[in-house]
Structure 1
C-alpha cells in the first residue's frame, strides 16, 4: 500500500485568508501564541473548503441536509462516496435516527485526504488596519469605521493522501461504522462496484479506472487551489508555492521538519531533506517531488537545486514548478502507470 505524503507551503502576502472571532469591532485573523511569539494560521477546515470549492465545476458535489434547531442542529452530506468525489475524499458522518421497521441510516467515512493546520513557519504579528464608510453621508457626519487584521507569512501544513482507500468503501468491520449502508452498497454494486476487502474489512470498490480518475482530480486540484477570506481587500495566490510530496509505503511523513527559521526568515533545510530521504529510502515507492515556484523564498530555490544536484541527477528528487509536477503526476496516475499504489494488503 502506498500513501502520498509531504508538506504544502502557501505564500501569503498582505492577506487575511482565514479569520477567527471578531473582537471589539475588529475582524481578527486566526493566530496562535507559542510563548511570546504569534503565528498566524489557516485552519485545516478552511483549506479543505478551498479544495472542495476548487474541484472542477462539472464534478458533482454531495448535497447537504440540515435538520434540527438551536443547539440540537445537525448537518450532514449524502454519505454516498460511490456517487460523489467529495464524500469519497473528505469523509463524512451521517447519523440518522433509526425508525421503527426501518434500517439505520448511520454511516461514516474517515478522510482519505488528511491535511494539517497551515501555520506560519516564522512568527508574524498581524497588522491591524481600518477602513471607513462615508459614501453618501452628509457634511460633518462622522464616518463608520471598521477594522481588520492581515499579515504576510509562509504557512506550512502536512498532507497525506491514502491512495488504497480512494474509491473503496467499508461495508462491515469490527469497531467501525460502515462507510455505506447495505442498501447503498447494493446500489454501488449495481453501478459497477465489486466486493473486496480493505485492511481486513469487507468493502466494495469502484472500477480501477474511476479510482485513477479521482486521484488525478485531487492532484490537479491541489495544483490549482484557490479561495480564502477577504479577497475583496487582500486577493492573492493560494496555490502551493512550495511542495514536498513522496510516495511512501508505510504512510509515515518524514518531511515535517524540512522548513526552519533563520534570522526570523523561513528557510528550506536541504540537509534535513537529504538525511530523511536516506533514513526512509526503504519506504520510498518512487521519486520525491520538490515543487517550488520561482521567486518564492528568494534565491533559496537555486541553492536547493545546487545542494541536491546529485539526487536530482539520480532521479530521487524531481524539482520543478508545483503545478507542473502535480499535473504530470496526475497524468501518469490516470494513465495507469502507478496502479500498484492503489493495491492494499489483503485486497482481493
Structure 2
C-alpha cells in the first residue's frame, strides 16, 4: 500500500485565476490575510474543477442534478464511482429521500496559497465602444497578481476503484441497488480497511490513476483568461509513495527574504526521517526557469541522492507522464493493495 504524497506549485504571472465576491463594483481576487500581510490563493475546489474540465474528451463525467431554491438548493452528482472517474477520485455526497451516500475524496489537495505576501493590484478599464459622443464610459475594475502558489497533495491509491458498501453514517458509497448493478458490471467484493466494499478490475484502477496524472500534466483553466491568459500547468510537482499517508514535504518549498525558495536541506532531512515509510524515489518535476537558477542549485545539492536513485528531477510533464505510463503497465500494483 502507498499514498502518493507531495506538493504542487503554480506559477501565476499577472493573473486572476480564482476570484471571490466583488466589493464596490471591483472584482476581488481570493486572498487571505495574516496580520498585515496579504496572500492570494486559489481554492482547492477551483483546481479540482480545472482537473475535471481537462479530463480527456472521451472520459465520461458524472451528471449533476440541481434541486430546490434559495437557501434550500442542493446539487449532487450521480454518485456512481463504479461508472465515472470523477465520482471515484474526487468524491461526492448524495442526500435525497432520507438516504445519504458519500465518497471521501481519493485525491486530496490543499488550498493553493502564495508562498510570499503579494498585495493584488487593481486594474482599471472602461467600455465606451460605439457610445455617442460625450457619454461617460462604463468603468470596470478587478484585481490581479503575480505569485507562486503552493499546496499539499495526497493521492490515496488503494482507494482508487474501491467503494464502501457497508459501514456507518455517510461512509457508504453506493446504495444497495447501485452496488448490485456495479457487481453485475464486473466489480468484485472485497474488504477495505475493515469495511465491506466493491473493487473494480485492476486494469481500470490503473487506468484511472494514470489518467489523473496525465491530466495534471496538461492542466489549464481559471478565471479571466480573456484578460490574463497564462500557463496553469504545475511549475513544480513533488510526488513520493509513502506507506502511511503522512505528507513529509509540506515545508520543502517556502519563503526567504520575501522570495519563494526550494529548500534542498529540508527535503534531504525529511527523506532521512521518513526513510522507513518511503516506498520508492521522490519524484520532482520542475519546469526550467521557474525560480531562476534554483533548479540547477538543487540538482547540485542533491547530486548524491540523484545518483543513487533516491531523488529524480525532470520536467513536470515528463515526470507525470512517465509515472502514468509505469502505473498503466502495472509497475506499481503494490501501491493499490491495502493491508488486511
Query: After superposition, where does 1:163-182 map in structure 2 within 5 Å?
Result: 163-182=157-176
**Superposition deviation, residue 261 in structure 1:** 1.4
Q: Residue 261 of structure 1 aligns to a residue in which SS?
A: strand
Identify the range of structure 1 (222-231 vs 259-268) with the bigger mean alpha-carbon deviation: 259-268
Please report the TM-score for the alignment, with normalisation by the length of structure 2.
Answer: 0.99
Q: Which residue of structure 2 aligns with residue 64 of structure 1?
A: 64
CA distance in 1, matches of 2:269, 2:238: 15
**Superposition deviation, residue 135 in structure 1:** 0.2
Q: Which residue of structure 1 aligns with residue 18 of structure 2?
A: 18
Is 1:133 matched with 2:127? yes
CA distance in 2, matches of 1:111, 1:260: 27
Q: Residue 95 of structure 1 aligns to a residue in which SS?
A: strand
2:314 paired residue among 304, 315, 320: 320
CA distance in 1, matches of 2:198, 2:328: 21
**Superposition deviation, residue 263 in structure 1:** 1.9
CA distance in 1, matches of 2:85, 2:334: 21
**Superposition deviation, residue 113 in structure 1:** 0.2
Q: Residue 75 of structure 1 aligns to a residue in which SS?
A: strand
Q: Which residue of structure 2 aligns with residue 53 of structure 1?
A: 53
Identify the range of structure 1 (169-178 vs 51-60) with the bigger mean alpha-carbon deviation: 169-178
**Superposition deviation, residue 175 in structure 1:** 4.5
CA distance in 2, matches of 1:8, 1:126: 22
Is 1:301 matched with 2:331? no
**Superposition deviation, residue 177 in structure 1:** 3.0
**Superposition deviation, residue 282 in structure 1:** 0.5
Q: Residue 11 of structure 1 aligns to a residue in which SS?
A: strand
Q: Residue 86 of structure 1 aligns to a residue in which SS?
A: helix
Q: Which residue of structure 2 aligns with residue 237 of structure 1?
A: 231
Q: Cα RMSD between the aligned structures?
A: 0.8
Q: Which residue of structure 1 aligns with residue 40 of structure 2?
A: 40
**Superposition deviation, residue 71 in structure 1:** 1.1
Is 1:78 matched with 2:72? no
**Superposition deviation, residue 174 in structure 1:** 3.7
* Cα displacement string for residues 164-221 of structure 1 (whole angstroms, at most 9, x for unaligned residues): 0000000001444310111111111111100000000000000000000001001111
CA distance in 1, matches of 2:225, 2:11: 15
- Structure 2, unaligned stretches of length 5 or more? none
**Superposition deviation, residue 150 in structure 1:** 0.2
2:189 paired residue among 169, 187, 195: 195
**Contact 2:14–2:144 (CA<8 Å) still a contact in 1?**
yes
CA distance in 2, matches of 1:149, 1:177: 41
Q: Residue 40 of structure 1 aligns to a residue in which SS?
A: strand
* Cα displacement string for residues 39-71 of structure 1 (whole angstroms, at most 9, x for unaligned residues): 000001111111111111110000001111111
**Contact 2:253–2:262 (CA<8 Å) still a contact in 1?**
yes
Runs of 4+ in 1 over 4 A off after TM superposition: none
Is 1:209 matched with 2:203? yes
Q: Which residue of structure 1 aligns with residue 304 of structure 2?
A: 310
- Structure 1, unaligned stretches of length 5 or more? 99-103
CA distance in 2, matches of 1:75, 1:141: 44
Q: Residue 160 of structure 1 aligns to a residue in which SS?
A: strand
CA distance in 2, matches of 1:170, 1:177: 7
Query: After superposition, where does 1:224-263 map in structure 2 within 5 Å?
Result: 224-263=218-257
Q: Which residue of structure 2 aligns with residue 283 of structure 1?
A: 277
Q: Which residue of structure 2 aligns with residue 7 of structure 1?
A: 7
CA distance in 2, matches of 1:47, 1:21: 18
Q: Residue 18 of structure 2 aligns to a residue in which SS?
A: coil
Q: Residue 23 of structure 1 aligns to a residue in which SS?
A: coil
Please report the TM-score for the alignment, with normalisation by the length of structure 1.
Answer: 0.97
Instruction: Count matched residues.
Output: 340
**Superposition deviation, residue 141 in structure 1:** 1.1
**Contact 2:101–2:170 (CA<8 Å) still a contact in 1?**
no
CA distance in 2, matches of 1:226, 1:266: 23
CA distance in 2, matches of 1:18, 1:189: 40
Q: Residue 303 of structure 1 aligns to a residue in which SS?
A: helix
